[in-house]
Amino acid sequence: MPVDELPVRHADAFADATRHPFLTAVRDGTIAPSAFHTWLVQDARFVADLLRFQARLLARAPRAAQEVLARGALALVQELDWFEERAAARGLDLSAPALPATTAYANLLERLDGADVPAALTALWTIERTYLDAWSAALPGAPAYREFVEHWTAPGFGGYVAGLAAAADAVGGGDERVFLEVVAAEIAFWDMAVATR
């Protein structure tokens, strides 16, 4: 099925990943700074893990998917710079150890390295689509966190997610099991940030 049907078909799970209390609190400015900092440090680790997954996917992707994946990989490299700047501005140590949800998500990505290309593209699209919708729910964002909300709600990001959808659909993506696994990992990631306040 087209990947865009997956969040419709699994609306409750998708809502849990995209309407999380973490995001409401970022919108309202009531997020505990320690919870936000936990998220930031762990998300920087996640992005490094995602870059590894995406580079491997690029290496085995069909010709038509190469450009969107290569552009996305460069965006991840630049995002790692951005995380380093944001962490430095807040005095955060990005070398802090991975928490269990981050490790579990990294393990899922490693497993998806071994999945077929349609499944892996569906996973990548799900990763990005959940972030697009999740941060959109936090708009406009409390001033202290606005740069993060703007980062994942910029028009260019929506265009990237649409490009990934086209790439996944072109190879017959839309694997429901993979979608639900990624959505569960996203929920656990938000839960982790809030739980470690």
Q: Contact residues for ligand MP5 (CB under 6 A)? A: 43, 46-47, 50, 76, 79, 127-128, 131, 186, 189
Torsion angle of the four alpha carbons 84, 80, 150, 65, in this order, in degrees rounded to the nearest 10: 180
Residue pair 159/1 in contact by the 8 Å Cβ criterion: no
Closest CA relative to residue 156, chosen from 79, 94, 50, 87: 79
Of residues 152 and 172, the one with the C-beta less far from ligand MP5 = 152
Residue pair 93/53 in contact by the 8 Å Cβ criterion: no
The distance of closest approach from Cβ of residue 163 to ligand MP5 in the complex, given in angstroms and rounded to an integer, is 13
Rounded to 10°, the helix 100-113/176-195 angle is: 160
The distance of closest approach from Cβ of residue 160 to ligand MP5 in the complex, given in angstroms and rounded to an integer, is 8
Distance CA 28, CA 172 (A): 40
The distance of closest approach from Cβ of residue 157 to ligand MP5 in the complex, given in angstroms and rounded to an integer, is 7
Distance CA 179, CA 182 (A): 5
Of residues 127 and 165, the one with the C-beta less far from ligand MP5 = 127
Residue pair 28/144 in contact by the 8 Å Cβ criterion: no
Two tokens at 58? 């690029």
Of residues 169 and 186, the one with the C-beta less far from ligand MP5 = 186
| DSSP summary character for residue 94 | T
Distance CA 142, CA 122 (A): 32
Of residues 56 and 172, the one with the C-beta less far from ligand MP5 = 56
The distance of closest approach from Cβ of residue 75 to ligand MP5 in the complex, given in angstroms and rounded to an integer, is 7
Of residues 14 and 189, the one with the C-beta less far from ligand MP5 = 189
The distance of closest approach from Cβ of residue 109 to ligand MP5 in the complex, given in angstroms and rounded to an integer, is 11
The distance of closest approach from Cβ of residue 5 to ligand MP5 in the complex, given in angstroms and rounded to an integer, is 20
Of residues 128 and 169, the one with the C-beta less far from ligand MP5 = 128
